[in-house]
C-alpha cells in the first residue's frame, strides 16, 4: 500500500496520535504525516503511506488554508484560548479598523514564531522551554499571506477569518500580531485547516470512517495514489532503449525522451515513466557535461 489518505484530524489528537492510529488501522508501520496540527486544532492532515512517505516534505511545502476566530481584547501565553491571560484591554469594536488591521498583513511578512511551537532550538522544542517558563529570542521568518477573507464580524470582540498562506505560517502568531496592530491585543480561538496543497476539507475522512472502510475492504474509495497527488507535474516517458537505465535509477538525457522536452526548464520536476507506461518517480531537470538531462529526485518504484 503506497499512497495517501486525507485524514480529518479531530480535536484532542496530536498529529503523532493520528499516525499511531493509522498504523493500527492499516497494520502498516511506514506511515507519516505532512504538517503538525496542535491538539486543539482540527481539519486536513494528509497522511503518507508506504513509499509515499518519501513525498512528505514535498506535500508539506504546499499552500495551506485555515479558518479561525480572532478574539480581541486579551493576549495569552500561548497566543490562543488555551493559554493564561497576559494582558487585557478595553476593546471597542470598530469594523473598519478591524478590517484595515487584518488587510495590512496580506503579502510577504516577517513573523516571529510563538514560544509554544515545535521549532527546535539547541536540540529542544520551543514549547518544552515555554512549559518551563522560559522565553528565548526567536528569529523572525519570512512567510507569505496570500489572502485573508474576513468571513464574519462577531461583535463585541471577535472576527472569523479565512487565511491562505505559505508553509511555516503560525496562525496563532498572526492573530496576536493583528491584535497588536489594532492596539487591543488578540488571540486565536479555535483553528480549522481547510486545505493543505491539493488535500481539502470536503474530501477528508475521520479515523472512525477510515476504520470502517478498512473492515469492509473499501479503502480504495478514499485511497489516493501517487498520480492523483502529483498530477500538476508534467508527465514524460523515455524511449524503449532507455527503460533499463531509468529502472536502475540512472539519469536520462532529454534526447532519450519520447515526450516533447521543449517545455521543460532547468530545475523543473517531472513525473517520469518507462516507454510502457510504468511510473518510476519524480526527476529534476539539470545539466551534465553541458547536456540537458533529468536526474532522480524521488524514486517511487
- Catalytic status, residue 38: yes
Q: Tell whether 224 and 237 lie within a shared domain.
A: no
Instruction: Note down the domain range covering 267.
Output: 233-299
Q: Distances in Å between the alpha carbon of 84 and those of 174, 245, 270? A: 18, 60, 49
48 and 137 in a single domain? The answer is: no
Q: Which residues contact 27 (CB under 8 A, 6 or more apart)?
A: none
Domain boundary among 171, 191, 211: 191
Split into its structural domains, the chain has a count of 3
DSSP string of 9-41, one letter each residue: EPTT--HHHHHHHHHHHHT-S-EEESS---TT-
Q: For residue 11, what pLDDT is reported?
A: 95
Which of 17, 38, 80, 260 is catalytic? The answer is: 38
In this structure, the answer to whether residues 208 and 253 fall within a common structural domain is no
Q: Which residues of the chain are modeled with pLDDT < 70? A: none
Pair 66, 42: CB distance under 8 Å: no
User: What is the pLDDT, as a whole number, of residue 300?
Assistant: 93
User: What is the tens place of the pLDDT at every residue in 223-248?
Assistant: 999 989 998 899 999 999 999 999 99
- For residue range 103-145, what is the model confidence (pLDDT) as tens digits? 999 999 999 888 777 777 777 877 777 787 777 778 899 999 9
Those residues whose C-beta lies under 8 Å from the C-beta of residue 55, and which sit 6 or more positions away, are: 48, 226, 229, 230, 298, 300
Q: What is the largest CA-CA distance in the chain?
A: 75
Amino acid at each position: 500500500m503506497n499512497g495517501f489518505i486525507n485524514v480529518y484530524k479531530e480535536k484532542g489528537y496530536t498529529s503523532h496520535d493520528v499516525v499511531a492510529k493509522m498504523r493500527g488501522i492499516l497494520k502498516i508501520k511506514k506511515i507519516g504525516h505532512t504538517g503538525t496540527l496542535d491538539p486543539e486544532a482540527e481539519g486536513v492532515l494528509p497522511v503518507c503511506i508506504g513509499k509515499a512517505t518519501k513525498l512528505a516534505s514535498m506535500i508539506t511545502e504546499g499552500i495551506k488554508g485555515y479558518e479561525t476566530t480572532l478574539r480581541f481584547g486579551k493576549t495569552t501565553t500561548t497566543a490562543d484560548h488555551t493559554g493564561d491571560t497576559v494582558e487585557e484591554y478595553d476593546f471597542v469594536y470598530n469594523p473598519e479598523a478591524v478590517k484595515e488591521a487584518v488587510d495590512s498583513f496580506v503579502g510577504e511578512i516577517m513573523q516571529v514564531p510563538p514560544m509554544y511551537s515545535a521549532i527546535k532550538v539547541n536540540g529542544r522544542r520551543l514549547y518544552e522551554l515555554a512549559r518551563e517558563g522560559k522565553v528565548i529570542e526567536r528569529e523572525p521568518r519570512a512567510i507569505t499571506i496570500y489572502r485573508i477573507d474576513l468571513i464574519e464580524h462577531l461583535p463585541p470582540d471577535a472576527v472569523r477569518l479565512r487565511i491562505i498562506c505559505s508553509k511555516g505560517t503560525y496562525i496563532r502568531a498572526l492573530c496576536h500580531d493583528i491584535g497588536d496592530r489594532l492596539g487591543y491585543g488578540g488571540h486565536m480561538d479555535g483553528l480549522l485547516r481547510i486545505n493543505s496543497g491539493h488535500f481539502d476539507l470536503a474530501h477528508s475522512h475521520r479515523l472512525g470512517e477510515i476504520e470502517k472502510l478498512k473492515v469492509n475492504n473499501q479503502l480504495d474509495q478514499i485511497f489516493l495514489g501517487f498520480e492523483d497527488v502529483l498530477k500538476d507535474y508534467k508527465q514524460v516517458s523515455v524511449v524503449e532503449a532507455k527503460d533499463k537505465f531509468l529502472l536502475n535509477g540512472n539519469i536520462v538525457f532529454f534526447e532519450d525522451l519520447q515526450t516533447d522536452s521543449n517545455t521543460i526548464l532547468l530545475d523543473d520536476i517531472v513525473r517520469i515513466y518507462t516507454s510502457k507506461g510504468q511510473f518510476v518517480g519524480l526527476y529534476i531537470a539539470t545539466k551534465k557535461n553541458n547536456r540537458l538531462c533529468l536526474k532522480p529526485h524521488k524514486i517511487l518504484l
